[in-house]
Amino acid sequence: MFTPKTVPIRFPSGLRGEFREMLVSEEDLIAATAGSQKSRERATLNDRLLGACWLRITEPGPYRQKFADGKLDLGKMLIGDKSHYLVQLRVESLGDLLRFQTQCGRGHRYEAQVSLKALDLKPLTAEAAERFAQDRLFEVRLPRTGRQVRFALLIGEDQMRVEDALTNSKDELSSELLALRVREIEGFDLKTGLDAETNLDIRGFLKRLPTFDATALRDAIADVEPGVDLEAESTCKCGSITTVDVTEAATDFFLPHTRRKTSLAKS
């Protein structure tokens, strides 16, 4: 009887564990939603794949309380960790080379090729890991308004709200994505949830935030948030460079194409 390959994995947060390569049963899950453009369906499929292929935790890292029963809970996992797992599952199951059709800024269609092993990985620092393990809130003082803001690193339970924002809030995307992370702002009444000075809620306050402050807040988030950079650059024959999200650009991210040769990941 064939035994699927077992793969050790270390997550950006410090969590360690093992997963197995994909089987045809997972291909059936993928085929059932192939071609779907709905981000919620893709996110749900990804969670089903990650859950089906997971084997065991060997070191919980900052999840020592969240995974106290020894079971992986994707809803409590940092989105950066989930993205890293998704990429590694693809590498170990289908190879690291990803080919897909894209278009450069000059309108030329071409086949791009990206090595998933070359994607940049940013670990969670020891200090940030300890803070996440305690209450997952981080602090920054905004330079223009002088307000202190407490924000969270997004986890799996937040992912559907992120997908909804990307789909339904395109006209207010910047403020909406910040609002998903911000938990507390200095000067807000904890009972009413409104700013004592402007009487605005968090979303309203963030919409009126100076760009200088919003940039400082995004920088503070980027400084502590772990994960894998899913954006990759490809060069068209005309010389122009295109940046793409590898999980969105390739419709066959998890579908093998036997007519194409891939660079198989070494175990």
pLDDT for residue 145 is more than 90: yes
Residue 258, in any domain of the structure:
no
Residue 54 exposure: Cα atoms within 13 Å on the Cβ side:
19
Residue 152 exposure: Cα atoms within 13 Å on the Cβ side:
21
User: Are residues 73 and 143 located together in one domain of the fold?
Assistant: no
Per the CB < 8 A criterion, the answer to whether 146 and 217 are in contact is no
User: Are residues 41 and 116 located together in one domain of the fold?
Assistant: yes
User: Are residues 106 and 159 located together in one domain of the fold?
Assistant: no
User: Are residues 86 and 33 located together in one domain of the fold?
Assistant: yes
Residue 245 has what pLDDT? 83
Higher pLDDT, 8 or 135: 8
Residue 259 has what pLDDT? 40
User: Are residues 143 and 55 located together in one domain of the fold?
Assistant: no
User: Are residues 147 and 132 located together in one domain of the fold?
Assistant: yes
- DSSP for 60-114, please give it: -GGGTTTTTTS---GGGSBHHHHHHHHHHHHHHHH-SEEEEEEE-TTS-EEEEEE
Task: Look up the domain containing 218 and give its range.
Answer: 125-224
The model's pLDDT over 67-78, given as tens digits with 9 standing for 90+, comes to 989 999 999 999
Residue 78, in any domain of the structure:
yes
pLDDT for residue 19 is more than 90: yes
% of the chain residues with pLDDT over 90:
53
User: Are residues 31 and 71 located together in one domain of the fold?
Assistant: yes
Residue 259, in any domain of the structure:
no
User: Are residues 159 and 83 located together in one domain of the fold?
Assistant: no
pLDDT for residue 127 is more than 80: yes
Residue 33, in any domain of the structure:
yes
Which range, of 85-94, 96-105, 120-129, 176-185, averages the lowest pLDDT? 96-105
Residue 157, in any domain of the structure:
yes
Residue 238, in any domain of the structure:
no
pLDDT for residue 79 is more than 90: yes
User: Are residues 185 and 78 located together in one domain of the fold?
Assistant: no
Q: The pTM is what?
A: 0.86
The model's pLDDT over 39-53, given as tens digits with 9 standing for 90+, comes to 777 788 889 999 999
Residue 13 has what pLDDT? 96
Q: Look up the CATH number of the domain holding residue 194.
A: 3.30.2220
User: Are residues 131 and 205 located together in one domain of the fold?
Assistant: yes
User: Are residues 135 and 42 located together in one domain of the fold?
Assistant: no
User: Are residues 68 and 113 located together in one domain of the fold?
Assistant: yes
Residue 255, in any domain of the structure:
no
Instruction: DSSP letter for 195, please.
Output: B
pLDDT for residue 265 is more than 90: no
* Number of domain units in the chain: 2
Q: Which tokens in the block code for residue 162?
A: 């992120």
Q: Which tokens in the block code for residue 134?
A: 């305690």
Which stretches within the chain are classed as H helix? 24-32, 39-53, 79-94, 126-134, 159-168, 173-181, 202-207, 211-224, 246-249
